[in-house]
Structure 1
Amino acid sequence: MTLAADATTDFPDATDLGFLLHKHPDRVQTFGLSVGSATVFYPEADSRSTCAAIILDIDPVELGRTQPRYSSSEFALGRYVNDRPYAGASLLAVALSRLFKQAIAGTCKARPELADRALDLTITVPAMPCRGGSELAEELFGPLGWNVEARPLPFDEKIPSWGDSVYVDLTLTGSFTVSSALKHLYVLLPVLDDVKHYWVGADEADKLVRAAGEWLAGHPRMELITERYLKHRRDLVASVVDRLVPDSQPQHPSRRDPNLAERRATAVIAELKSLGAKSVVDLGCGEGRLLREMFSENKFETIVGVDVSARALASAERRLGLDDLPDRQRTRVQLFQSSATYRDARLKGFDAVVLMEVIEHVEMDRLPALERSVFREARPMHVVLTTPNSEYNALYDGVADGQFRHPDHRFEFTRAQFRDWATNVAERDGYAVRYESIGPVDEALGSPTQMAVFTREEKA
C-alpha cells in the first residue's frame, strides 16, 4: 500500500507527512507483527510530493495459528495456502493500527499544528479483495468524500474469458487529515474483504465506535459496514447501532431508503412468500445476501445456496453464521458448489429456484444450457428471475451508450428482449410467465431491474 501527499497552500512542505506518520523519510523501518512483519519506507520524499509505502511480509504458519477453528468450507491447507499474504484486507488494517497508532489518534508532538490540517492524499492498494463488486468500494468510500477508482483485476490476464476476480486495484484520492484517512482504511478494508483473520469479540465493537463513531451513523451502508466489520455477530452489531444512533432516531439502520439491491431482495422474498414456496434454491447465491433474508423467514423450511465460487460460498457460510447455529436451524440451510449451466440432480424437487441477477453473467451462447438445467432438468414449480433493464442505463451517470452496468456482465436485455426470451422459454418448457418491475419506474425507460416469475403448468 502507498500513501502519497501533495503540497498545498495550507501544507507547503509535503515531507511533513513524516512528522504525522512518525516515520522518518530517510529511514527504512521494519516492525514485527503477530503474523510476520511490516516495512515502511519512502519511495519519494520532497517538498512537492511525498509517498510512504507499506509492505507486509506474512508468515503463513503464524497466520494459520491465529485462526480460532477450522471452517467446514475450508480445505485441509486452506489456512496456510491462501491469498492473505498477497492482498490488502484485515492484515493490512491491523498493520496500519500497529505502525501508525499515534497518527490514527491524531497526535503529533513534534509539529502539533499539523495534525488538524487536511492534505491532498492519494492512497493505492494494488490488490484489494472487494466482495460485492468494484462498485462496493465506491459505495463505502464515496460517501466519506473520497474519489474512488476500483479497477477489477482479471482471474488471468492471458485468459480473458475467465472474467474478473474478486480483487481490484484500488485508488483513493481526496483531501483529509492523516488521522481521518487512516481510520477510514482501518475500518473499511476488512469490510471490503468481508474476512477477518482473528476472533471478533466485544472489544471489536469498541474499536469500531472509536474509529468510525464520527461518521458511521450517517453512512448509507452502515448496516453492511457494521455486519462485515463484526463478522456478522448480530449481538455486537446491535450494540454498535444502539451506541451510535440517538434515541430520537430510528434504532435500525435499514430504516433509511433502501438501495436497489435491497429492493430486489425484498421483491424476490415477497414473491416467494406469495407463491407459497417452502423449499427454495438460490442459484448463483454469491455471498449469501438473499439466503440470509430467507433464513430470517420461518416460512422457508429448506433453503439451498448454490454458486460456482467456493470463495463466495465460504463468505455465505460466514454471513449466515452456520457454525454457531443450533442443529435444528442448521439443517434448514445447505450450501454446495455447482453452476447454473450444469445439469445437477441435487436441484430437483424444489418449490422454487431463484436466479437473482445471474443470467447477465452467462455468455449468451451458454444461455441454452442454463435454460435446460433449470427449466427442463431441475424443473421446479416456480422460477423467480431478475436481470437489469439496459434501457434504464441512460439514467446512470458514468454508463456510456453501449456499456454494461457491471464489467462482468456478458449482455443486458432491453425490456422487449427480456420478454421475448422469457416468453419463448415458458412456451417451450411448459411454464406460464408474468413480469414485474423493481425500483423506481421511469415513464419512458422503465425500471432498473426487471423480474419474470415462471409457474409450471400442470397437465390435466
Structure 2
Amino acid sequence: MFLTISTTGSLARPATDLGFLLHKHPDKAQTFSTAHGTAHVFYPEATAERCTSALLLEVDPVALVRRGKGKGRGGAPDSALAQYVNDRPYAASSLLAVALSTVFKSALRGVCAALPERVEAPMPLRIEVPALPARGGPELVRKLFGPLGWASVTAEPVALDERFPEWGESRYVRLVLEGELRLADALRQLYVLLPVLDDAKHYWVAPDEVDKLLRAGEGWLAAHPEQQLITSRYLSRRWGLTRQAMERLELVRLAEADDLDVEDVDNAVDETTDTEDKPVPLAVQRRDAILDTLRAAGASRVLDLGCGQGQLVQALLKDVRFTEIVGVDVSVRALTIAGRRLKLDQMGERQAARITLTQGSLTYTDKRLGGYDAAVLSEVIEHLDLPRLPALEYAVFGSARPQTVVVTTPNVEYNVRWETLPAGHVRHGDHRFEWTRAEFRAWADQVAARYGYGVTYAPVGPDDPEVGPPTQLAVFTKTKTKTNSEKEAKAA
C-alpha cells in the first residue's frame, strides 16, 4: 500500500520544508509499527526545488485476520478463502488511513513548532495513490475530491489485466491530486475519504468514530455536496451514528452560514419561524455592541482582526464615520468569501477605498497594523492554542498598539443554557478553550497592566443572574503612561 506527497519550492520557501511539516527528516528512512503491519516513511527526492515523501504500508495478512474477528469487510469476508486472498495489503483503505493518522499525527493536527507560519499557508501539493478502491468509479472520486479546492483530480481506472483488455476495468483507480492546499487539510481529507471510497473498514465502528469524523472533516465536510454519502460510508452505514453525525454537521453548517458559533444556532433557527416577536441573533447583538463601543471611542480607522467572512466589516462599512476599515484573517478562503459578501468587484471607487482585506497571522507582528484608532478581536482568542496567546497579545497590544481594543469571547458558564449543546462540549469545533467570567477578567487585567491599557467590561446578550451573559466583552483603552513593554515595542 503506497502513497506519495510532493511539493515544489522557491527561494523563500524550499520544498524540503515538507519534512518539517510532516515531522519526518528527509535524510532518514523511518519505520513505525501499526496494529496490522509496518509503515515506512522515506523521501525518494528532497531538494530545494522539489520534495517527495512516501508512505509505504506493509500489511501482515495473518495479523489482519487475527485482529479482524469478523469486523468490517476486511475482516468479515464473503468466504473463508477471502480471509487470506484479498486486496487489503495492496489497495488504499482504512488501513492506510489509520497509518496516516499514526505516522503523521502532528501534521494532521496542523502543528509545527519549527515553521508555524507554514502550517497555515497553502502550499503546492501533488498526492498520488497508485491503487485506490473506488466503489462508485472515477466519477465518485471526482465528486468527493472536486469540491475540496484541488485544481486537478485525476482518477485513472486500472484494467483488470492489461494483457486482456476485453476483461474491462477493475474497481481500482490511480488517484492524483494537484493544487494549493494546507497540508493538514489535505491529510484530513485523505483520512476520511480513503475508507469512504473503499466503502469498508477493517475495524468495528464505535460511537467515538463520530467525533473522529467531525474533527477530520472540520472546515469542509459540513458544506460538502456529498456529505450524507461520506458520513454514511465512513460510519459503515450504522444509521444511528450516521444520524447523530448528520445532526451535528447541520449545527456546524448553520454556524458557518453566518460565521456563528453553536450559541447562535438556536436564534438562527428561530429566525426561520413566522413569529411576530423574533429574537435578535446573538451574532447581531455582538456586532451592535462592538459598533456602539467603537462609536463611543470616537474611532474612525478600525482593524477587524480575524475578520472571517466579513460580517463586521460589512456593518462598519454602512457607517460613514469609519473612514478606513482593514480586515485581517489567516484564511485566504475566508477573505475570498468576505470579498464576495462585500461585492468589492461592484463597489464604487470611493467606497472601495475605505476597505482593505489582507491575509496575515495575528500571532506575528505586522508593521501594516500600526497607527489605527481601534482594533477588534471578535470571537478570535478562543480559536488559538493557549501557548500561542502571548504572541497575539504582543502583536496587538505591544506592537500595533491601537488606542482602543475590543475583545469578545464566549462565557463558558452560559453554555448550560443552550439546549442544542451537549454537556461538556464547547460552542464551536475549533474552540481551543472557553473561559468563565473570572478567567476572562484575570487574563484581560493582566494584559492591560502589562501593555499600558485600562480595561472595562460589558455583557452581550441576556445577562443571566446565575451564569452571566452568553458573550463577554472587554474594552481596552491605552493610557498615557508608557510601559516598559511599549518602550521595547517602539525600540523594536
Question: TM tier, shorter chain?
Answer: 0.5 to 0.7
Q: Distance in 2 between matches of 1:15 and 1:79?
A: 41
Q: Is the 2:10–2:48 contact (alpha carbons within 8 Å) kept by the matching residues of 1? A: no
- SS in structure 2 opposite 1:78? helix
Tell me what 1:45 maps to.
46
Q: Distance in 2 between matches of 1:80 and 1:145?
A: 39
CA spacing shift, 1:247–1:187, aligned 2, 3 Å: closer
Tell me what 2:148 maps to.
144
Q: Distance in 2 between matches of 1:73 and 1:192?
A: 18
Q: Distance in 2 between matches of 1:8 and 1:239?
A: 45
Which residue, out of 98, 102, 105, partners 1:101?
105
CA spacing shift, 1:19–1:64, aligned 2, 3 Å: same
Which residue, out of 155, 163, 172, partners 1:158?
163
Residues matched between the structures, number:
249
Tell me what 1:74 maps to.
78
Q: Is the 2:21–2:112 contact (alpha carbons within 8 Å) kept by the matching residues of 1? A: yes
Q: Is the 2:43–2:53 contact (alpha carbons within 8 Å) kept by the matching residues of 1? A: yes
Q: Is the 2:109–2:184 contact (alpha carbons within 8 Å) kept by the matching residues of 1? A: yes
CA spacing shift, 1:73–1:17, aligned 2, 3 Å: closer
Structure 2 unpaired stretches of 5+: 256-492
One-letter identity of the residue aligned with 2:52 = C
One-letter identity of the residue aligned with 2:6 = A
Deviation of residue 249 (structure 1)? 5.6
Tell me what 2:194 maps to.
189
Q: Distance in 2 between matches of 1:204 and 1:120?
A: 30
Which residue, out of 121, 139, 155, partners 1:135?
139
Deviation of residue 77 (structure 1)? 2.6
CA spacing shift, 1:247–1:24, aligned 2, 3 Å: closer
RMSD of the alignment, in Å? 1.8
CA spacing shift, 1:225–1:162, aligned 2, 3 Å: same
Equivalent runs, 1:273-422 vs 2, <5 Å = none
CA spacing shift, 1:206–1:174, aligned 2, 3 Å: same
Q: Which of these two proteins has the greater Rg computed from alpha carbons?
A: 2
Pair 1:176 & 2:181 matched = yes
Q: Deviations over 1:369-418 (max 9, x none)?
A: xxxxxxxxxxxxxxxxxxxxxxxxxxxxxxxxxxxxxxxxxxxxxxxxxx
Deviation of residue 215 (structure 1)? 1.2
Identical-pair percentage: 52
Deviation of residue 80 (structure 1)? 2.4
Deviation of residue 167 (structure 1)? 0.3
Pair 1:225 & 2:244 matched = no
Equivalent runs, 1:434-445 vs 2, <5 Å = none
CA spacing shift, 1:8–1:139, aligned 2, 3 Å: farther
One-letter identity of the residue aligned with 2:28 = R
Tell me what 1:62 maps to.
63
Tell me what 1:5 maps to.
7
Deviation of residue 109 (structure 1)? 1.4
Deviation of residue 117 (structure 1)? 1.4
What's the TM-score once normalised by structure 2's chain length?
0.49
Structure 1 unpaired stretches of 5+: 251-460
Tell me what 2:357 maps to.
none
CA spacing shift, 1:113–1:227, aligned 2, 3 Å: same
CA spacing shift, 1:116–1:248, aligned 2, 3 Å: closer
Tell me what 1:27 maps to.
28
Q: Distance in 2 between matches of 1:249 and 1:23?
A: 38
- SS in structure 1 opposite 2:68? coil
Tell me what 1:267 maps to.
none
